[in-house]
Structure 1
Protein backbone atom coordinates (compact mmCIF):
# COMPACT_ATOMS: atom_id res chain seq x y z
CA UNK A 1 0.00 0.00 0.00
CA UNK A 2 2.86 2.35 0.80
CA UNK A 3 4.38 1.68 -2.59
CA UNK A 4 1.07 2.50 -4.32
CA UNK A 5 0.80 5.81 -2.47
CA UNK A 6 4.32 6.69 -3.49
CA UNK A 7 3.43 6.26 -7.13
CA UNK A 8 0.73 9.07 -6.86
CA UNK A 9 -2.17 9.43 -9.29
CA UNK A 10 -2.17 7.78 -12.67
CA UNK A 11 -2.65 9.78 -15.87
CA UNK A 12 -6.14 8.37 -16.29
CA UNK A 13 -7.12 9.49 -12.79
CA UNK A 14 -5.78 12.99 -13.43
CA UNK A 15 -7.64 13.23 -16.74
CA UNK A 16 -10.83 11.95 -15.12
CA UNK A 17 -10.57 14.47 -12.30
CA UNK A 18 -9.93 17.29 -14.78
CA UNK A 19 -12.95 16.29 -16.86
CA UNK A 20 -15.16 16.17 -13.78
CA UNK A 21 -13.90 19.56 -12.64
CA UNK A 22 -14.45 21.09 -16.08
CA UNK A 23 -17.94 19.61 -16.26
CA UNK A 24 -18.78 21.03 -12.86
CA UNK A 25 -17.50 24.49 -13.80
CA UNK A 26 -19.39 24.40 -17.11
CA UNK A 27 -22.59 23.45 -15.30
CA UNK A 28 -22.07 26.21 -12.76
CA UNK A 29 -21.44 28.84 -15.46
CA UNK A 30 -24.48 27.63 -17.44
CA UNK A 31 -26.65 27.91 -14.34
CA UNK A 32 -25.25 31.39 -13.67
CA UNK A 33 -25.96 32.51 -17.24
CA UNK A 34 -29.50 31.12 -17.08
CA UNK A 35 -30.15 32.88 -13.78
CA UNK A 36 -28.73 36.14 -15.17
CA UNK A 37 -30.84 35.87 -18.33
CA UNK A 38 -33.94 35.14 -16.25
CA UNK A 39 -33.27 38.16 -14.03
CA UNK A 40 -32.67 40.39 -17.06
CA UNK A 41 -35.86 39.14 -18.70
CA UNK A 42 -37.77 39.76 -15.49
CA UNK A 43 -36.43 43.32 -15.30
CA UNK A 44 -37.43 43.96 -18.92
CA UNK A 45 -40.94 42.65 -18.31
CA UNK A 46 -41.24 44.72 -15.11
CA UNK A 47 -40.02 47.83 -16.94
CA UNK A 48 -42.48 47.22 -19.80
CA UNK A 49 -45.36 46.67 -17.39
CA UNK A 50 -44.45 49.80 -15.44
CA UNK A 51 -44.31 51.84 -18.63
CA UNK A 52 -47.69 50.49 -19.74
CA UNK A 53 -49.24 51.36 -16.38
CA UNK A 54 -47.79 54.88 -16.38
CA UNK A 55 -48.94 55.65 -19.94
CA UNK A 56 -52.36 54.07 -19.41
CA UNK A 57 -52.90 55.98 -16.16
CA UNK A 58 -51.97 59.27 -17.80
CA UNK A 59 -54.32 58.73 -20.74
CA UNK A 60 -57.14 57.53 -18.51
CA UNK A 61 -56.87 60.43 -16.07
CA UNK A 62 -56.55 63.10 -18.72
CA UNK A 63 -59.40 61.86 -20.89
CA UNK A 64 -61.76 60.94 -18.07
CA UNK A 65 -61.42 64.50 -16.74
CA UNK A 66 -61.98 66.15 -20.14
CA UNK A 67 -64.26 69.18 -19.88
CA UNK A 68 -66.75 70.48 -22.39
CA UNK A 69 -64.88 73.76 -22.81
CA UNK A 70 -64.36 75.28 -26.23
CA UNK A 71 -60.78 75.74 -27.40
CA UNK A 72 -61.42 77.15 -30.90
CA UNK A 73 -64.11 78.35 -33.29
CA UNK A 74 -64.84 76.66 -36.61
CA UNK A 75 -64.65 79.49 -39.14
CA UNK A 76 -66.87 77.67 -41.64
CA UNK A 77 -69.74 76.64 -39.35
CA UNK A 78 -69.28 79.10 -36.48
CA UNK A 79 -69.44 76.20 -34.01
CA UNK A 80 -67.28 76.06 -30.94
CA UNK A 81 -64.84 73.16 -30.96
CA UNK A 82 -64.74 71.13 -27.75
CA UNK A 83 -63.25 67.84 -28.97
CA UNK A 84 -61.54 66.86 -32.19
CA UNK A 85 -60.12 63.48 -33.02
CA UNK A 86 -59.11 61.03 -35.69
CA UNK A 87 -57.10 57.82 -35.74
CA UNK A 88 -53.81 59.53 -34.87
CA UNK A 89 -54.66 62.78 -33.06
CA UNK A 90 -57.11 64.18 -30.55
CA UNK A 91 -57.63 67.53 -28.87
CA UNK A 92 -59.63 68.29 -25.74
CA UNK A 93 -59.57 70.48 -22.64
CA UNK A 94 -58.84 69.17 -19.16
CA UNK A 95 -57.66 70.77 -15.93
CA UNK A 96 -54.01 70.41 -15.03
CA UNK A 97 -53.11 69.92 -11.36
CA UNK A 98 -51.61 72.93 -9.61
CA UNK A 99 -48.53 70.97 -8.60
CA UNK A 100 -47.46 70.87 -12.26
CA UNK A 101 -47.23 74.66 -12.18
CA UNK A 102 -49.93 74.96 -14.83
CA UNK A 103 -53.19 74.83 -12.93
CA UNK A 104 -56.47 75.40 -14.75
CA UNK A 105 -57.98 74.30 -18.07
CA UNK A 106 -55.44 73.38 -20.75
CA UNK A 107 -55.85 72.16 -24.29
CA UNK A 108 -54.34 68.68 -24.56
CA UNK A 109 -53.19 67.64 -28.03
CA UNK A 110 -52.21 63.99 -28.33
CA UNK A 111 -50.71 63.10 -31.69
CA UNK A 112 -48.82 60.21 -33.23
CA UNK A 113 -45.38 60.92 -34.70
CA UNK A 114 -43.46 58.42 -36.85
CA UNK A 115 -39.78 57.89 -36.15
CA UNK A 116 -37.11 57.26 -38.76
CA UNK A 117 -36.92 53.56 -37.82
CA UNK A 118 -40.62 53.01 -38.68
CA UNK A 119 -41.61 53.02 -35.01
CA UNK A 120 -44.08 55.53 -33.59
CA UNK A 121 -44.37 57.72 -30.54
CA UNK A 122 -47.13 59.72 -28.88
CA UNK A 123 -46.42 63.35 -28.11
CA UNK A 124 -48.42 65.68 -25.87
CA UNK A 125 -48.80 69.42 -26.47
CA UNK A 126 -50.31 71.65 -23.78
CA UNK A 127 -51.70 75.14 -24.26
CA UNK A 128 -53.94 77.31 -22.09
CA UNK A 129 -57.65 77.46 -22.94
CA UNK A 130 -59.08 80.92 -22.34
CA UNK A 131 -62.29 82.51 -23.62
CA UNK A 132 -62.93 79.76 -26.16
CA UNK A 133 -59.45 80.11 -27.64
CA UNK A 134 -56.14 78.29 -27.43
CA UNK A 135 -53.42 80.53 -26.02
CA UNK A 136 -49.97 79.41 -27.12
CA UNK A 137 -47.11 79.78 -24.67
CA UNK A 138 -44.38 82.33 -25.32
CA UNK A 139 -41.72 81.23 -25.89
CA UNK A 140 -43.27 78.06 -27.33
CA UNK A 141 -42.64 74.89 -25.38
CA UNK A 142 -41.71 71.73 -27.31
CA UNK A 143 -44.10 68.78 -27.02
CA UNK A 144 -43.47 66.11 -24.40
CA UNK A 145 -42.97 62.50 -25.49
CA UNK A 146 -45.52 60.37 -23.66
CA UNK A 147 -44.32 57.01 -25.00
CA UNK A 148 -41.86 55.92 -27.68
CA UNK A 149 -41.01 52.69 -29.48
CA UNK A 150 -44.54 51.80 -30.56
CA UNK A 151 -45.44 49.82 -33.64
CA UNK A 152 -49.11 50.70 -33.82
CA UNK A 153 -51.39 53.39 -32.37
CA UNK A 154 -55.12 53.74 -32.97
CA UNK A 155 -57.62 56.19 -31.48
CA UNK A 156 -61.36 55.57 -31.82
CA UNK A 157 -64.49 57.32 -30.57
CA UNK A 158 -68.02 56.46 -29.59
CA UNK A 159 -71.15 58.52 -28.94
CA UNK A 160 -74.92 58.30 -29.08
CA UNK A 161 -76.56 57.71 -32.43
CA UNK A 162 -79.69 59.43 -33.77
CA UNK A 163 -81.91 56.85 -32.01
CA UNK A 164 -80.45 57.69 -28.62
CA UNK A 165 -78.52 54.43 -28.46
CA UNK A 166 -74.81 53.91 -27.95
CA UNK A 167 -73.30 53.91 -31.41
CA UNK A 168 -70.41 51.96 -32.87
CA UNK A 169 -66.74 52.85 -32.83
CA UNK A 170 -65.45 55.39 -35.35
CA UNK A 171 -61.93 56.37 -36.40
CA UNK A 172 -63.02 60.02 -36.50
CA UNK A 173 -65.12 62.14 -34.18
CA UNK A 174 -67.53 64.06 -36.38
CA UNK A 175 -69.28 66.08 -33.66
CA UNK A 176 -66.52 68.45 -32.49
CA UNK A 177 -68.95 70.69 -30.59
CA UNK A 178 -69.54 67.86 -28.10
CA UNK A 179 -67.47 65.30 -26.23
CA UNK A 180 -67.62 61.62 -27.16
CA UNK A 181 -68.96 59.27 -24.53
CA UNK A 182 -66.01 56.89 -24.83
CA UNK A 183 -62.53 56.86 -26.34
CA UNK A 184 -60.71 53.65 -27.26
CA UNK A 185 -56.91 53.56 -27.48
CA UNK A 186 -55.09 50.55 -28.96
CA UNK A 187 -51.30 50.39 -28.63
CA UNK A 188 -48.70 47.81 -29.60
CA UNK A 189 -44.92 47.63 -29.27
CA UNK A 190 -42.81 47.76 -32.41
CA UNK A 191 -42.30 43.99 -32.06
CA UNK A 192 -46.06 43.49 -32.38
CA UNK A 193 -46.95 42.79 -28.74
CA UNK A 194 -50.29 44.43 -27.99
CA UNK A 195 -50.85 46.48 -24.85
CA UNK A 196 -54.00 45.94 -22.79
CA UNK A 197 -56.81 47.82 -24.53
CA UNK A 198 -58.04 51.10 -23.08
CA UNK A 199 -61.70 52.17 -23.19
CA UNK A 200 -62.12 55.45 -21.35
CA UNK A 201 -65.45 57.03 -20.43
CA UNK A 202 -65.48 60.83 -20.51
CA UNK A 203 -67.26 61.68 -17.28
CA UNK A 204 -68.39 65.18 -18.30
CA UNK A 205 -69.63 64.29 -21.78
CA UNK A 206 -72.89 66.16 -22.38
CA UNK A 207 -72.37 68.63 -19.54
CA UNK A 208 -71.51 72.34 -19.50
CA UNK A 209 -73.58 73.01 -22.58
CA UNK A 210 -71.52 70.72 -24.80
CA UNK A 211 -74.38 68.62 -26.09
CA UNK A 212 -74.80 64.88 -25.66
CA UNK A 213 -72.72 63.45 -28.47
CA UNK A 214 -75.62 62.82 -30.82
CA UNK A 215 -74.81 62.35 -34.43
CA UNK A 216 -71.66 60.30 -33.96
CA UNK A 217 -71.37 57.83 -36.85
CA UNK A 218 -72.03 54.13 -36.43
CA UNK A 219 -69.04 52.84 -38.41
CA UNK A 220 -67.33 49.86 -36.80
Structure 2
Protein backbone atom coordinates (compact mmCIF):
# COMPACT_ATOMS: atom_id res chain seq x y z
CA UNK A 1 0.00 0.00 0.00
CA UNK A 2 1.38 3.33 -1.03
CA UNK A 3 1.58 6.20 1.46
CA UNK A 4 -0.17 9.40 0.58
CA UNK A 5 1.60 12.66 -0.11
CA UNK A 6 1.05 13.89 3.46
CA UNK A 7 2.50 10.85 5.22
CA UNK A 8 5.74 11.15 7.29
CA UNK A 9 8.98 9.61 6.09
CA UNK A 10 11.49 7.96 8.55
CA UNK A 11 15.26 8.45 8.56
CA UNK A 12 17.18 6.63 5.95
CA UNK A 13 20.04 4.35 6.89
CA UNK A 14 22.58 6.87 5.61
CA UNK A 15 21.05 9.63 7.73
CA UNK A 16 21.20 7.42 10.83
CA UNK A 17 24.83 6.56 10.19
CA UNK A 18 25.68 10.23 9.70
CA UNK A 19 23.91 11.15 12.95
CA UNK A 20 25.69 8.40 14.88
CA UNK A 21 29.03 9.44 13.40
CA UNK A 22 28.40 13.08 14.33
CA UNK A 23 27.50 12.11 17.91
CA UNK A 24 30.62 9.96 18.16
CA UNK A 25 32.72 12.88 16.91
CA UNK A 26 31.16 15.24 19.44
CA UNK A 27 31.70 12.77 22.31
CA UNK A 28 35.30 12.24 21.18
CA UNK A 29 35.97 15.97 21.12
CA UNK A 30 34.40 16.40 24.54
CA UNK A 31 36.50 13.55 25.98
CA UNK A 32 39.69 14.92 24.42
CA UNK A 33 38.95 18.36 25.85
CA UNK A 34 38.27 16.92 29.29
CA UNK A 35 41.41 14.80 29.19
CA UNK A 36 43.49 17.76 28.04
CA UNK A 37 42.07 19.87 30.85
CA UNK A 38 42.93 17.21 33.42
CA UNK A 39 46.48 16.94 32.07
CA UNK A 40 46.88 20.71 32.21
CA UNK A 41 45.59 20.73 35.79
CA UNK A 42 47.99 17.95 36.77
CA UNK A 43 50.89 19.77 35.12
CA UNK A 44 49.95 22.96 36.93
CA UNK A 45 49.77 21.17 40.28
CA UNK A 46 53.16 19.54 39.65
CA UNK A 47 54.69 22.93 38.83
CA UNK A 48 53.22 24.45 41.99
CA UNK A 49 54.53 21.52 44.03
CA UNK A 50 58.05 21.88 42.61
CA UNK A 51 58.02 25.63 43.17
CA UNK A 52 56.80 25.20 46.73
CA UNK A 53 59.51 22.66 47.54
CA UNK A 54 62.23 25.09 46.49
CA UNK A 55 60.54 28.05 48.16
CA UNK A 56 60.01 26.27 51.49
CA UNK A 57 63.60 24.99 51.49
CA UNK A 58 65.00 28.45 50.78
CA UNK A 59 62.84 30.01 53.49
CA UNK A 60 63.98 27.43 56.06
CA UNK A 61 67.67 27.79 55.19
CA UNK A 62 67.47 31.59 55.18
CA UNK A 63 65.62 31.62 58.51
CA UNK A 64 68.16 29.35 60.22
CA UNK A 65 71.28 31.02 58.84
CA UNK A 66 70.09 34.57 59.49
CA UNK A 67 69.71 33.69 63.21
CA UNK A 68 73.18 32.19 63.53
CA UNK A 69 74.74 32.82 66.96
CA UNK A 70 78.45 33.49 67.67
CA UNK A 71 78.62 30.66 70.20
CA UNK A 72 81.30 27.99 70.23
CA UNK A 73 80.30 24.35 69.86
CA UNK A 74 83.77 22.81 70.13
CA UNK A 75 87.27 23.61 71.29
CA UNK A 76 90.24 22.50 69.23
CA UNK A 77 92.35 20.31 71.54
CA UNK A 78 95.49 21.26 69.66
CA UNK A 79 95.47 25.06 69.66
CA UNK A 80 92.59 25.75 72.03
CA UNK A 81 90.60 27.70 69.42
CA UNK A 82 86.85 27.78 70.05
CA UNK A 83 85.00 26.77 66.90
CA UNK A 84 82.07 29.03 66.13
CA UNK A 85 81.58 28.24 62.45
CA UNK A 86 82.84 25.45 60.21
CA UNK A 87 82.46 26.00 56.49
CA UNK A 88 83.36 23.87 53.50
CA UNK A 89 82.05 23.84 49.96
CA UNK A 90 79.60 21.04 50.75
CA UNK A 91 78.95 21.48 54.50
CA UNK A 92 78.52 24.12 57.20
CA UNK A 93 78.16 23.76 60.98
CA UNK A 94 77.13 26.54 63.35
CA UNK A 95 75.01 27.34 66.42
CA UNK A 96 71.54 28.84 66.32
CA UNK A 97 68.02 28.57 67.75
CA UNK A 98 65.54 26.07 66.37
CA UNK A 99 61.95 26.87 65.42
CA UNK A 100 59.60 26.29 68.34
CA UNK A 101 57.88 23.35 66.66
CA UNK A 102 61.22 21.54 66.20
CA UNK A 103 63.35 22.47 69.20
CA UNK A 104 63.15 21.99 72.94
CA UNK A 105 64.55 25.38 73.86
CA UNK A 106 68.09 26.65 73.98
CA UNK A 107 70.69 26.91 71.20
CA UNK A 108 71.38 24.02 68.85
CA UNK A 109 74.38 22.93 66.85
CA UNK A 110 73.08 22.84 63.28
CA UNK A 111 74.53 21.40 60.12
CA UNK A 112 73.63 21.78 56.46
CA UNK A 113 75.26 19.43 53.98
CA UNK A 114 75.03 18.65 50.29
CA UNK A 115 75.21 14.88 50.59
CA UNK A 116 75.73 12.44 47.74
CA UNK A 117 73.02 9.76 47.67
CA UNK A 118 73.26 7.33 44.77
CA UNK A 119 73.37 9.20 41.47
CA UNK A 120 72.20 12.49 42.91
CA UNK A 121 72.91 14.83 45.78
CA UNK A 122 70.56 15.96 48.50
CA UNK A 123 70.51 18.96 50.82
CA UNK A 124 70.19 17.58 54.36
CA UNK A 125 69.89 19.16 57.80
CA UNK A 126 71.02 17.88 61.20
CA UNK A 127 70.76 19.40 64.66
CA UNK A 128 71.93 18.64 68.20
CA UNK A 129 71.41 20.42 71.51
CA UNK A 130 74.47 22.57 72.20
CA UNK A 131 74.44 21.62 75.86
CA UNK A 132 76.25 18.28 75.94
CA UNK A 133 77.15 18.24 72.25
CA UNK A 134 79.92 15.76 71.48
CA UNK A 135 81.41 16.13 67.98
CA UNK A 136 82.81 12.60 68.19
CA UNK A 137 79.29 11.24 68.69
CA UNK A 138 77.47 13.52 66.26
CA UNK A 139 76.32 10.63 64.07
CA UNK A 140 74.00 9.14 66.68
CA UNK A 141 70.39 8.21 65.90
CA UNK A 142 69.05 11.43 67.41
CA UNK A 143 70.61 13.41 64.60
CA UNK A 144 69.61 11.47 61.52
CA UNK A 145 69.79 13.77 58.48
CA UNK A 146 66.53 15.40 57.45
CA UNK A 147 66.23 15.69 53.69
CA UNK A 148 65.34 19.21 52.66
CA UNK A 149 65.67 18.89 48.89
CA UNK A 150 66.59 16.11 46.46
CA UNK A 151 67.48 16.06 42.77
CA UNK A 152 70.68 18.12 43.06
CA UNK A 153 73.33 17.72 40.37
CA UNK A 154 75.98 19.81 42.08
CA UNK A 155 76.28 22.80 44.35
CA UNK A 156 78.14 24.38 47.22
CA UNK A 157 78.42 27.02 49.93
CA UNK A 158 80.45 30.22 49.70
CA UNK A 159 81.31 32.78 52.35
CA UNK A 160 82.20 36.45 52.74
CA UNK A 161 83.80 38.24 55.66
CA UNK A 162 85.04 41.70 56.60
CA UNK A 163 88.77 42.31 56.24
CA UNK A 164 90.96 44.39 58.56
CA UNK A 165 90.07 47.53 56.61
CA UNK A 166 86.37 46.95 57.15
CA UNK A 167 85.70 45.98 53.55
CA UNK A 168 83.68 42.99 52.37
CA UNK A 169 85.89 40.23 50.99
CA UNK A 170 85.31 38.20 47.83
CA UNK A 171 83.35 34.95 47.96
CA UNK A 172 85.31 31.87 49.02
CA UNK A 173 84.24 28.24 49.38
CA UNK A 174 86.73 27.48 52.16
CA UNK A 175 86.25 29.04 55.59
CA UNK A 176 89.38 28.87 57.73
CA UNK A 177 88.45 31.42 60.44
CA UNK A 178 86.64 28.93 62.67
CA UNK A 179 86.52 31.35 65.62
CA UNK A 180 84.48 33.83 63.55
CA UNK A 181 81.22 33.79 61.65
CA UNK A 182 80.90 35.00 58.05
CA UNK A 183 78.94 38.13 57.27
CA UNK A 184 77.26 36.45 54.30
CA UNK A 185 76.64 32.87 53.21
CA UNK A 186 75.73 31.83 49.67
CA UNK A 187 74.19 28.55 48.58
CA UNK A 188 74.27 27.76 44.87
CA UNK A 189 72.91 24.52 43.43
CA UNK A 190 72.34 23.16 39.96
CA UNK A 191 69.44 20.74 39.86
CA UNK A 192 69.31 17.58 37.77
CA UNK A 193 67.39 18.01 34.54
CA UNK A 194 64.88 15.26 35.33
CA UNK A 195 64.00 16.94 38.65
CA UNK A 196 62.55 19.91 36.72
CA UNK A 197 63.55 22.13 39.65
CA UNK A 198 65.28 25.50 39.50
CA UNK A 199 67.25 26.76 42.50
CA UNK A 200 67.80 30.55 42.53
CA UNK A 201 71.09 31.55 44.16
CA UNK A 202 70.45 32.07 47.88
CA UNK A 203 72.45 34.83 49.62
CA UNK A 204 71.92 35.22 53.36
CA UNK A 205 73.29 38.13 55.39
CA UNK A 206 74.05 37.37 59.02
CA UNK A 207 72.08 39.32 61.60
CA UNK A 208 74.93 39.06 64.12
CA UNK A 209 78.00 41.22 63.66
CA UNK A 210 80.62 38.73 62.55
CA UNK A 211 83.38 41.24 63.22
CA UNK A 212 82.43 41.32 66.88
CA UNK A 213 83.81 37.81 67.30
CA UNK A 214 87.30 38.87 66.29
CA UNK A 215 89.73 38.45 69.14
CA UNK A 216 86.99 37.03 71.31
CA UNK A 217 88.03 33.39 70.96
CA UNK A 218 84.74 32.64 69.31
CA UNK A 219 82.54 34.28 71.90
CA UNK A 220 80.98 32.41 74.77
CA UNK A 221 81.32 28.67 75.04
CA UNK A 222 78.01 27.25 76.27
CA UNK A 223 78.73 23.55 75.90
CA UNK A 224 78.77 22.27 79.47
CA UNK A 225 79.75 18.73 78.57
CA UNK A 226 82.48 17.33 80.80
CA UNK A 227 85.61 16.66 78.79
TM range (shorter): 0.7 to 0.9
1:163-174 superposed matches below 5 A: 163-174=165-176
- Moved beyond 6 Å, runs of 4+: none
1:80-135: CA deviation from partner (whole Å, max 9, x where unpaired): 1111111110000001244434211111011122222x122122111122389659
The aligned counterpart of 1:125 is 126
Per residue, is there more strand in 1 or in 2?
1
Task: Give me the whole-angstrom Cα distance separating, in 1, the residues matched to 2:156 and 2:42.
Answer: 31
Matched, 1:204 2:198: no
C-alpha contact 1:128 1:135 (8 A) present in aligned 2: no
The aligned counterpart of 1:194 is 198
Alignment counterpart, residue 9 of structure 1, candidates 11, 17, 21: 11
TM-score (norm 2): 0.80
Deviation at 1:59, TM superposition (A): 0.4
Deviation at 1:147, TM superposition (A): 2.0
C-alpha contact 1:107 1:134 (8 A) present in aligned 2: no
The aligned counterpart of 2:65 is 63
1:1-220 superposed matches below 5 A: 2=6, 5=9, 8-116=10-118, 118-130=119-131, 140-141=141-142, 142-191=144-193, 193-206=197-210, 210-211=213-214
2:95 is paired with a residue of what secondary structure? strand
2:210 is paired with a residue of what secondary structure? coil
Query: Are residues 137 and 89 of structure 1, via their aligned partners in 2, closer, same or farther at CA, if it must alter by over 3 Å?
Result: closer
Query: Are residues 103 and 198 of structure 1, via their aligned partners in 2, closer, same or farther at CA, if it must alter by over 3 Å?
Result: same
Q: Which runs of 5+ in 2 are unaligned?
A: 216-227
Task: Give me the whole-angstrom Cα distance separating, in 2, the residues matched to 1:153 and 1:39.
Answer: 32
1:41 is paired with a residue of what secondary structure? helix
Aligned residues: 208
- Choose between structure 1 and 2 for higher RCO, CA contacts under 8 A separated by at least 6 residues: 2
**Larger C-alpha radius of gyration, 1 or 2?**
2
